Chain A
Amino acid sequence: MLKLPIYLDNNATTPMDPRVLEAMTPYFLEHYGNAASRNHPFGWEAEEAVDYAREQVAKLIGADPKEIIFTSGATESDNLAIKGVYEMYASKGNHIITVTTEHKAVLDTCKHIEKIGGEVTYLEVNAEGLIDLKELEAAIKPTTILIAIMYANNEIGVVMPIKEISAIARKHGVLLFTDGTQAVGKIPVDVNKDGIDLMAFSAHKMYGPKGVGALYVRRKNPRVKVTAQMDGGGHERGMRSGTLNVPGIVGFGKACELCRLDMEEDTKRISKLRDHLETELLKLEEAYVNGSREHRLPHVTNISFKYVEGEGLLMGFNKNIALSSGSACTSASLEPSYVLKALGLGDDLAHSSLRFGLGRFTTEEQIEYTIKAISETVLKLREMSPLWEMYKEGIDLNTIEWAAH
């Protein structure tokens, strides 16, 4: 029997894998020590658990365990990386290069940097959601200290050419920070093969608990340092003070291990479901995939259904299917998704988009239900849409003088 509601918002967060919870439980009730307590078994057990988790996390991304700094999540890691590099390398320069489609945790941190005297270049993306590498190289100046470009985008799943980007960064002696939140655990990420100097990622996007994440900070070739943004007991090699969230870290470690072991099989299964979903939904007239389909995460698709509005569309099934929309109405602001707009989509298409994030626990039955429910709702709403009627009558909507409000 199909159980409702169906969860297809795995880019927002993932359910926790029961195996992760199982690993965590003893660290709440029995082994509750503070990992920084050096003088008794409770502390030793906690420290050992953290060390083990650090190895599990490091192994997933091909890093050395000493290069993993535990944080409260990707937002904190983004802040620590950008602000930490900005402060640490102040004598070298004050210029940062990033991209307009980054997550707000990166964009708003960059805005903060500008406020305190830094200079930031925001690269634009093409219709596929990808940057122009020549433009990136041309943007580098003698004062550039950091390139901050995400590994994969949270709204459209587009994967950036990180290897090519890091080659450019290396050539000019600039550090590369990548927000790996959506990519790590989903596709192979290797900090050495990819040439990454700093990387943020989070447990709850890979079937681990919320409230724990990491910042990878390279220790060799080059040795990278960041100025701590949280002062205190000098935890995490002085880069991030604060008592370690031991159960969370244990869960994070387990989640990383499971992703490493299951990735190949998960990807095969999930991408097949995603492709099926996409193929079926694209059979509807005037439906378009947003962003590159070639350079993309295996579990994500973002589709615009022209002439129906995203929130209205969601309402047709959101009791039974959890999805998100690029429409303004779903958020507090009245602007539709800035990521979709950066691809050059008109506001109308941005308003008409749905983001599908499949996951480890998505089933074929769920996808069949989703295809049917969405197709029916799109058809029903188009019957109700004045824009659809005009389109069908051959009226070019751009020729109409809309009373913008």
Chain B
Amino acid sequence: MAYSEKVIDHYQNPKNVGTLDKSAKNVGTGLVGAPECGDVMRLQIQVDDAGVITDAKFKTFGCGSAIASSSLATEWLKGKSVDEALKIDNMAIVEELNLPPVKIHCSVLAEDAIKSAINDYRVKNGLEEIKFAESVVH
């Protein structure tokens, strides 16, 4: 299977690989996937007092599409408010990266990681956890 140029670019030059202090109150961490399934994503956001995401980092165990999906997600998150970030849809990632059908689950995982990081941040800051509908794929 051939990868799209965008996937290859993110794989070769991933944006925002790294780790934020997960114990910090203004950092939300999402860890999704499972080693048995061949992909695990950890996505972190750092939020300022105005509710804007000032930094985002990821680490991913997975195929090139999973790495690219998380790299792209961190790029999109930076500068967005938490509420805007909630609107990031996996299909936008599919479109941007030209993911083939067998790789859609990578984008779903990235969306899950964003939501999970946001919830972690919310809980840490005394806000209610948002209940999301179960993702369809997987």
Q: Do the two chains belong together in a single complex? A: yes
Q: Which A residues form the contact surface with B (CB < 8 A)?
A: 307-312, 315-316, 327-329, 332, 334, 336, 346-348, 351, 383-389, 397, 400, 402-405
In contact, A351 and B35 (Cβ under 8 angstroms): yes
B135 to chain A: closest CB distance in Å? 8
* Known contacts A312-B66, A312-B67; is-contact A386 B37 (Cβ 8 Å): no
In the assembled complex, B92 has its CB within 8 A of some CB on chain A = no
Given A403-B32, A405-B34, 18 new contacts (CB under 8 A): A308-B61, A310-B38, A311-B38, A312-B11, A312-B67, A315-B8, A329-B63, A334-B38, A346-B36, A348-B36, A385-B60, A385-B61, A386-B31, A386-B60, A400-B31, A402-B33, A402-B40, A405-B135
Shortest 5 CB-CB contacts between residues of A and residues of B: A405-B138, A402-B34, A347-B36, A348-B35, A311-B63
In contact, B61 and A405 (Cβ under 8 angstroms): no
CA distance A314 to B31 in the complex (A): 24
A120 to chain B: closest CB distance in Å? 28
In the assembled complex, B102 has its CB within 8 A of some CB on chain A = yes
In contact, A389 and B63 (Cβ under 8 angstroms): no
CB<8 Å pairs between A and B, sample of 21: A309-B63, A311-B63, A311-B64, A312-B11, A312-B64, A315-B3, A315-B64, A316-B11, A328-B38, A334-B37, A346-B35, A386-B31, A387-B40, A387-B61, A389-B19, A389-B59, A402-B33, A402-B35, A403-B112, A404-B36, A405-B109
Q: Which B residues form the contact surface with A (CB < 8 A)?
A: 3, 8, 11, 14, 17, 19, 31-42, 59-64, 66-67, 102, 105, 109, 112, 135, 138
CA distance A308 to B11 in the complex (A): 14
In contact, A404 and B61 (Cβ under 8 angstroms): no
In contact, B34 and A351 (Cβ under 8 angstroms): no
CA distance A402 to B14 in the complex (A): 24
Determine the chain B residues whose CB is within 8 A of the CB of A387 once the complex forms.
Answer: 35, 40, 61
